[in-house]
Structure 1
Amino acid sequence: MNPVMQWMEKHFIPVAGRIGSQRHLVAVRDGFVAIMPLIIIGSFAVLINNLPIEFFQNFMLNTFGEGWKTLGGNIWDGSFAVLSLLVVAGISYNLAKSYDVDALSAALLAVACYIIFTPTTDDWGLSYAWTGSQGLFVGVFDRSRGD
């Protein structure tokens, strides 16, 4: 066997195994895995709405009319526009399960806390800017610190 591989198996793999089994990192991983189907569906909706082929865009417009992109927009609203909320719920749920506490209550409480600290729009509504991917880092960091 290659000496580099032997060294990695002896020194690197055990450390990587311990890091990979750390409960907070596992909760982050499982939280993202849980929403992966929504990310895939949202990606396809964005791709179909914005496919840069003029023939396709004209075909869809002539077949379904002016509002043909509405369904894709609604799918985006239900996936990427609320991505941070979904990730916060998923990570909190999985982290609570690892501590053997009520996972559903933890997820609901985490989402409520995230909404409380999310900046609002002028009319007191939640901004898609902060519930989407822009607020993702804050949501992951807040839920992963383990308190």
Structure 2
Amino acid sequence: MRILGLDYGDKTIGVAVSDEMGWTAQGVEVIRRKNGESDLGRLRQLVDEYGVEAFVLGMPKNMNGTIGPRGEASIEFADILRETFGLPVHLWDERLTTVSAHRTLIEADVSRKKRKQVVDKLAASFILQGYLDSMTKR
């Protein structure tokens, strides 16, 4: 069962996909957001291409665990995904995933320009991998 991991932001959507066994997450792409129809259209193509059966959507929470405006936007987007695709959407705490993605890229000596292009894809991979790891511990 393949799962699509998403790092949903104001300007981009980082996308990762699991392997068929649901063990590892691989970054796929960064969707530059244009409008809802275009964004969902690209996600539809990815769902079809990879045979996706569920989504894991990053849920940004404040450090104290409360949900702010970005978290509310993610909840709304989760509802849109459920309506549009008829697939389960799992919200996953994404606190510090983008920070971790930046650190990983800096440690790998990736240029600032290149980091900007891939950080959301890597963050989506971290979100999805965290979810997958939690499922194997059950």
Does TM, normalized by the shorter one, top 0.5?
no
Rg (Cα) greater in structure: 1
Structure with higher RCO (Cα < 8 A, 6+ apart)? 2
Structure 2 length-normalised TM = 0.25
Structure ranking higher in helix proportion: 1
Structure 1 length-normalised TM = 0.24
